[in-house]
Amino acid sequence: MVDCLFCQIVQRKIPATVVFENEHVLAFRDMHPQAPVHVLVIPKPHVSSVSEMTPEKMGLWEKIYQAAQQIAKQEQIDGSGFRLVVNNGPNAGQAVAHLHLHVLGGRRLTWPPG
């Protein structure tokens, strides 16, 4: 999608600090981190939101979660704990209309969020 911020990051038209990449997903540091470690994991093909996930696209979830596990190890937060967050739609706080998983850690996180 031409005007999608995250698609432009995948295409390297907009710079980002990439921490993980394979043929299915791209992960990069959040520009406005909410924790010492705050990485966004996105599917490379454009998927607007969780609501847009079809049975054919469900395999992307596995790739996204595998990347999150790898990132947690890489960032050394797998032992202390980390949070995975997916917001769906504006009322949930989804600011970019491209499916993304937040990997947050590096400090004690509180509950409930927001």
CATH number of the domain that residue 17 is part of: 3.30.428.10
Sign, CA dihedral 60-58-36-71, equals negative
Catalytic residue among 24, 32, 98, 100: 100
| Domain hosting residue 39, numbered range | 5-105
Task: Report the pLDDT value the prediction gives residue 113, as an integer from 0 to 100.
Answer: 76
> For residue range 21-77, what is the model confidence (pLDDT) as tens digits?
999 999 999 999 999 999 999 999 999 999 999 999 999 999 999 999 999 999 999
pTM, whole model, 2 decimals?
0.95
- Does residue 65 lie in a domain region? yes
Please tell me the total count of domains within the chain. Answer: 1
Overall average pLDDT of the 77-98 stretch: 96
The token pair that represents 107 in the structure block: 């400090």
Between these two residues, 24 and 114, which has the higher pLDDT value?
24
- Does residue 69 lie in a domain region? yes
* ∠ Cα 106 85 43 (to 5°): 105
Give yes or no: 100 in active site: yes
Task: Report the pLDDT value the prediction gives residue 112, as an integer from 0 to 100.
Answer: 85
